[in-house]
Structure 1
Amino acid sequence: MLLSVACLLRPEKSAGLKILSLLSFCVSIQFLYVYFLLKGIYFEPSFLNHLHIPFAWFLGPGMYSLYSVTVREEKFTPFERSFYLPGILLLIVFPILYLVLPQIFWSRPVDFFEKGSTSWSDVLLLGAYSANLVFYSSIVWQTRAAFQLERLKKDAGARILLFVIIGSGSVTSILVISYLIRDINLLFISVLSTVIYAVAGYLAQIYAPEVFSEMGPSMRDAYRNSRLEGVDTTDLENRLESLMTKEKLYLQEDLSLSTLSNQLDIKPYQLSEFLNQRKGTNFSKFVNGFRVAEAVRILQKEEGANILSVAYRSGFNSKATFNLAFKSIKGVSPREYLRKSKVS
């Protein structure tokens, strides 16, 4: 709990710290409930004895969100927000179910271990931890390029990352195993290990930030490399250049990232990453660069050309978009550019 509050009180108000606060809070809830379970402490109303289950469903999505904002450096998408729906729905549904069917909460969490019985709440909890392993596996898969032997030998950040992933994955696996073999002591050890692991990582980040500073670049490079894995980037660059300069695909008003990636026979996210890595730009700026160059060619060739006509002929779908793109690249509006060209 203290770690969760500490994250919120840090002077830098980043999305990563907010997510870390959520994760710390959820881990604390799991630890407290295991402690209550071992001590035979129970609450009324009885649904409170099972309230750790919804919070367990936040752990995997939280880790993936932390990875998303720190490594992929992307904002939350509606799809990623949907990962939190199971936990949110359970938090809402539990009190309502208690009012309608209080008897379904009469079973005690300890019964799973002591009596060998399995209730619907036990299945939900085991499902949460299994889902969390899927999220962790997804992160590992997307950063797998960091764990090649040659990279591990020379990259300290990659070694730290491997240690973190092995640690968190092992703890979660032990937790799942503790349920599968119904060993309550193993459950306590796994949850306690998670708390110690989280606190140690937080303190290390504060007192030795240089140790972890190398991990971010390693993960980002690994993520980018894995997205372009199997793609011949030299061939891709040549084909892209041909499509834009010879076939002039940029003249299509409805040209999209998806359309262009289909032409290149790659995934949209791979094209986006290629433009980001190799060209230092995004799709919109890349295409607009060709369109503005085409507009300049027309303005220089055709004296007295109509600005709106030039915009459409260059591939833009509106005058406003054309003006913004033109000024961002040339530093002046199309009309000013035309006036200066006449003067010179």
Structure 2
Amino acid sequence: MTFGQQMLFFFSAVGAFNGLLLGVYLLFVKKLKYIPDFFLGLILLTLSIRVGISVCIYFYPDLPRIIPHLGLAALFFTGPALYYYIRSSFLQEHFILKNCRRSFGILTLILGAVGLLYLFFPVTWDTYYGTFIYTVWTIFVFWSVYEYYTLSKKYAEKPNKFILPVLISNTIIFLAYQLIATGWVQIYCAGGSLVFSFVLYANFLILFNKKYRLSETKELNRYSNKKISDERADGFVSKLERLMNSEELYKNPNLKLNDLATRMNISSHQLSQLLNDNLEKSFSTYINEYRINEACEIIENGSYLKIEEIGYEVGFNSKSTFFSTFKKIKNTTPLLYRQSQMPSERELQSSNL
């Protein structure tokens, strides 16, 4: 290879390699606490596979024919991943992952069925397979742009600042590959790989620049005093109550605001704002009310546990904290509350009669 070809190969391959590493990290290494990260990882993984194979085919054209088709197969899922990245970023806790799994299952079956056609119509399949892949990609890119437009109008405040850069980046890569595939732009196939590398590193500079982080912090502080809308607050409260009632998170004595916010897929700031502004309670008061109500139920059911054991059972890590919190919320002590639940002598005599 000439020096120019070596440089072309280097920049294309490095972009594909870094995109592949980041995609694998988001998909398999990073814990799945934020659903959009999964789809972003899938976008990077599929594009990196396609880019890497394009580079290999350009510099090593004698590779088996199946290799470029594998790259196209990976590209088949890029459009759906972009669409669901946008939806999950906006909808967050309202996003239904089950429906997404069903859609990807159907898409996989479609791709498998199209792949099997090669056994019966190899010449036709070679001619139209790429057209089929790029058509699906085109449909989902336009659908993603439309989805972003409709959801951004519905949600005035965007959940994160990455949605638009990711959408624009994918659109640029899509246009580059479409122009090359249709022959409207007469450049080598590796041109798409260079575009991917350029867009990838441009996003690193934009998204992780210190000035960007500072401006995002200022934006957050500007709206920190604004109350969460009633519609969103109702959704958050319902999810919070489900976590409390079904999973009994309040029984964890080491439960922190950050832990609960992570389970709800919202920021600690949003959870704190929800509790203070919409429920008019602090985090500790909200959790302790669940604990005390649970303690009262245990006492009312006639448990033979000691008072301090009941405190530990419902999530308190010390006897004194349990007693003082019980007194504050119920205006009595746990012992007096237990005695008030015991039947009086007159009631016992009446029951014996």
Scaled by the length of structure 1, the TM-score of the pair is 0.50
Scaled by the length of structure 2, the TM-score of the pair is 0.49
- Asked which structure has the greater CA Rg, the reply is 2
